[in-house]
Structure 1
């Protein structure tokens, strides 16, 4: 069993790390907020005080970080301690440009693949995520399989690119459902009737996501992902959605809560 270092223990990282512990891997964890790492110690993980300490003896390093800035900071901190032959799996949603920049900082002999995920905390806990993988997953396939279904996307960075494509469509779709519900309010239509009609329409999938329970994809991260998409090309709809998301009151709520929040926003 490979020695694995897992860096980034947010709402997604913690259940993913627990799956590796349950599979019997020797796991070292690090998180900027140390208390979150301590929760994994109770399950058998070794807690490192710095990214460099976490990766020093690792065969495989997994990063699950919030944004490109965090990705750069963590790689800068851990790169001097990486050994030749180590495999880095970047599972963060940072986009193809940032992934390429991060990979370029790695020392010789360290290989990197991008494997951002689609799914929330419920699927992370049960190993049912969708992994968009750029590069060759072969050497770490058994580890990736612990998290869910692997979709091979092409060369390095292709997984990060496809994740941004898919998640942008989901975010725009959920926001459209939120505005549809607000429109229904102005007509005085019963909510149950509206939700059922939307669920049985061509937008049924994003309607299910808009009203899903037990999931947590903060609105602030959705805004970040849309911003990554907008940085690549002109996207008028995404631009409008980004403006909506950034003016909402509680950006720590799940993306689905845009339905409630937009219903309260005055025209």
Structure 2
């Protein structure tokens, strides 16, 4: 089986890497905070001291990192040692511009695929994420399928672009539900009645996400995703939503927590 290097063991990366171990792939892992590799090492993975060491013998490299800066930094370290024939699967949420940057830097013979995911930690643990694969994913589609169903989105960068579209809708919907609940609170509508009515309408999915538990999509990462979207095109509604999430992210008790906590922050935030 292919030797895989998995770089980035955050809330999503760790359960995804575990899917590869369960499938029997030889797995080398790296994370900026080395302590996070211990659980996977105990289950059979090998920890690398740095990104370059992790990818040196790999057939497939998977990066699942926090954002564009982290991907660029790791890319600087791994690109010089990638061997011809290697597939690099970039699964972070970074937008198509970063994917195109990477494509301009990978050595000849290395295939870059962008394959961000839909779903949160619960689906990552269950192997039921949605994979949005852009570029020539034929050589790694069987590996991506370990994480969940794969949708081929088109040319390189198209997966990253579609992921921004999806996240924009999710984040915007959660903010709208939070504001609707704030209005309900102000007007004296019972929470249970408001939630039930909203859940029965077109925002049903956003209602479920705004009140979700046992999942994790950090509010500060939502701020990053909004910035990627609004830097691509003028989105006045999302510019307003950004203010909500930036205020939540600035709260040390909320910023790194799931966006459901940000929704609660929006709901109770006093206007200034």
Would you say 1:56 and 2:56 are equivalent positions?
A: yes
Give 1:200 shift: 0.3
Would you say 1:266 and 2:253 are equivalent positions?
A: no
Would you say 1:238 and 2:242 are equivalent positions?
A: no
Deviates most, 256-265 or 182-191: 256-265
TM-score by length of 2: 0.97
Partner of 1:119: 119
Aligned-partner SS, 2:11? coil
Equivalent positions of 1:184-195 (< 5 A) are 184-195=184-195
Contact residue 89 and residue 114 of structure 2 kept, 8 A? yes
Contact residue 79 and residue 106 of structure 2 kept, 8 A? yes
Aligned-partner SS, 1:247? helix
Aligned-partner SS, 1:88? strand
Could you list the runs of 4 or more consecutive aligned residues of structure 1 that deviate by over 3 angstroms after TM superposition?
Answer: none
Partner of 2:259: 255
Partner of 2:130: 130
Contact residue 3 and residue 58 of structure 2 kept, 8 A? yes
- Which segments of 5 or more consecutive residues in structure 1 lack a partner in the other structure? none
Distance in 1 separating the partners of 2:224 and 2:155? 24
Distance in 2 separating the partners of 1:98 and 1:39? 31
Equivalent positions of 1:95-244 (< 5 A) are 95-244=95-244
Aligned-partner SS, 2:4? strand
TM-score by length of 1: 0.98
Aligned-partner SS, 2:131? strand
Aligned-partner SS, 2:139? helix
Contact residue 114 and residue 133 of structure 2 kept, 8 A? yes
Aligned-partner SS, 2:140? helix
Give 1:258 shift: 2.2
Deviates most, 205-214 or 232-241: 205-214
Give 1:144 shift: 0.5
Contact residue 181 and residue 259 of structure 1 kept, 8 A? no
Distance in 1 separating the partners of 2:18 and 2:231? 34
Q: Deviations over 1:236-260 (max 9, x none)?
A: 0110011111012221111112231
Distance in 2 separating the partners of 1:53 and 1:257? 38
Q: Size of the alignment, in residue pairs?
A: 267
Give 1:263 shift: 2.3
Contact residue 3 and residue 59 of structure 1 kept, 8 A? yes
Give 1:38 shift: 1.9
Q: Deviations over 1:63-98 (max 9, x none)?
A: 001100000000101112111100000000000001
Distance in 1 separating the partners of 2:136 and 2:127? 21
Give 1:264 shift: 2.1
